[in-house]
Structure 1
């Protein structure tokens, strides 16, 4: 592979595929060779815009091609497991849009396929690659916060429910804001905490605003009659080391800002605020010691996650978002949904 480009095939031509195509196109040592989608017209449009030479009739024919090294799965959540496993079984490495899958059982099946075939598997958790996240992670790796015993993480929007079939219907997405945006901030929080050993979760998953007669979204027309996903979720997670994390996410929340995403971590030595990149501590001389991490502008995180995965494939190194960590994230989110149904705390299986 060192003497030729890494060849990419895309399964999916929806909205996020454009971002992925831009990301792959920026890499001199990668080339897009094929794309497929159930909507043939959408696939043809992506192929035309990004000079992709081949449009396949199905995912099955795409993964069977001998001239593809990596399959990028950018389809509704419900199909992540099926297409990813098919690609790995056909000898392809897989980059899959978040969430990696919808349940712990599905992620375990994907990990098993990766281990059996020796092919790499990674969820495209792009928020790990934001400049703020990378700067904060680098700082606290060199300057530990001590015992991180509590954290808060939230990702809330105001009247910004995505009004496309891939987001409004459980049969396609497997959930609403929790599985769509909650997965982002939860993964980032665990990454900064360096803690992927959850033991239990309790939470709520509610649809309080999206089906109201007067409900509306800035992002399209809500199908109020058939929408069956939550527009708000919140949870409380306990970890094996005694730490805890609160999680909150929404598409429709009645708040001042149209969008807020934040993580606060509290350690025995210092605390941090993300994405502000602020650090808070005290001194023995009764002083408050606060600081702010500054960083230079960088590449778009969606593109960086693609570049990082490509480097791991070409260099045969561990992927920067190990699927074992995605397993912890999905276990928590699945547990939160179960807690809503049972009305009680859910004990999670060990990874």
Structure 2
């Protein structure tokens, strides 16, 4: 399925929300070898408004109608978490390549079925884990592969907000989102950390989850929410143990009494050197002094577009790395294990 100047790939978007507009449509419109042909949303007015802004000929409220009438080659799934599985499976069954927003799905079984369906259909299924596409992540991955850090035995990933409960969408509704900060923002730093480490094999997971603030407060930096309808966790603190003996600590929150408004970063501690992800820096101690081995002056902000480009280039047969269905399954497996460990108060073996 290769595009030429006379036959651009046909692109459809499911879900006409913020991420569809600011990321997916914003990227697709930059390429002459792509043509946006349809958009679908549960709100007909929102779908039509979206279509009008981007010159998309078909706007509808039914996914199967979109697939039957628009016959897309590529589908972006930007619907709420609850519908990722259903919409990805429909698109794959229609012979489409799919870029799905995170998380892959609501459950591990769904993520497993999605990767198997992509494999059987011979189609690309990618997830928009865009932080791994930052130049910072690429730089640290190369440093780890080159052995500059030695064996990395402690990694600390943080996706923390002091009071950053989303006041829009369904982020506080567990039935529709699958969880709170872990599945929304923590999953991003988890993927970035695992990517830099090279996806080491996991032995077991332990975790603690808390809901102490969101059910009492009603407003924060991202607007207001209904505390009576707040059904997700405030914060999760997890430890992932690898078979090689190292650990990855993941701390994530929508609401936590910390001085910083937000922290989104990963630190790596190796036998020879340490590193910080955003902005990327590798350092080591020499006689009590901190020596910088390499660094980026500022964090890369073009990671969303780089993630989208990698997906489209991969669809067109270029040998580029994507956040594929197999790695998406691993990340979903870890998220599921963390939630299970927190609920049961015990280790979950993988």
TM-score, with length taken from structure 1: 0.93
> 1:115-264, aligned counterparts within 5 Å?
115-212=119-216, 214-264=217-267
RMSD: 2.0
Corresponding residue of 1:280: 283
User: Are the counterparts in 1 of residues 92 and 98 from structure 2 also a CA contact under 8 Å?
Assistant: yes
Partner SS for 1:327? helix
CA shift digits 1:165-196 (9 cap, x unpaired): 42110121000001000100000000111124
Question: Which residue matches 1:15?
Answer: 18
Residue 63 (str. 1) matches residue 67 (str. 2): yes
- The alpha-carbon distance between structure 1 residues 269 and 223, as it changes in their structure 2 partners (threshold 3 A), is same
Residue 334 of structure 1 aligns with which residue?
A: 336
Bigger mean CA offset, 22-31 vs 231-240: 22-31
Secondary structure in structure 2 of the residue aligned to 1:340? helix
Q: Are 1:26 and 2:27 counterparts?
A: no
- Residues in 2 aligned to 1:137 and 1:165: alpha-carbon distance in whole angstroms: 34
Partner SS for 1:291:
strand
**Paired residue total:** 346
Rounded to whole Å, the distance in 2 between the matches of 1:282 and 1:326 is 36
Q: Equivalent residue for 2:90? A: 86
Q: Within 2, Cα distance between the matches of 1:191 and 1:340? A: 24
Deviations 1:121-141 (A, max 9, x none): 011101112232233333433
Measured against aligned partners, the alpha-carbon deviations of 1:151-172 in whole angstroms (never above 9, x if no partner) come to 1000111211112242110121
**What is the aligned counterpart of 1:310 among 295, 298, 312?**
312
How far off its partner does 1:64 sit?
A: 2.6
Question: Is 1:270 aligned with 2:279?
Answer: no
Q: 2:105 aligns with which of 95, 101, 104?
A: 101
Superposed CA deviations along residues 198-228 of structure 1, whole A, max 9, x for unmatched, are 221111222111111x442221221111110
State the partner residue of 1:320.
Answer: 322
Q: Using a 3 Å threshold, how does the CA distance of structure 1 residues 287 and 255 change in structure 2: closer, same or farther?
A: closer
The residue number in structure 2 matching 1:2 is: 3
Q: Take 2:50 and 2:142, find their aligned partners in 1: how far apart are those partners?
A: 37
CA contact (8 A) 1:182 1:248 kept: yes
Superimposed CA distance per residue, residues 288-319 of structure 1 (whole angstroms, 9 cap, x where no aligned partner): 53234136886622121111100000126465
Q: TM-score scaled by structure 2?
A: 0.93
Deviation at 1:65, TM superposition (A): 3.9
Show CA shifts across 1:101-156 (max 9, x none).
Answer: 12221111001101111011011101112232233333433453221111100011
Report the Cα distance in structure 1 between the residues aligned to 2:318 and 2:117, rounded to whole angstroms.
Answer: 17
SS at match of 1:225: helix
After TM superposition, the structure 1 stretch with the greater mean CA deviation from structure 2, 93-102 or 197-206, is 197-206
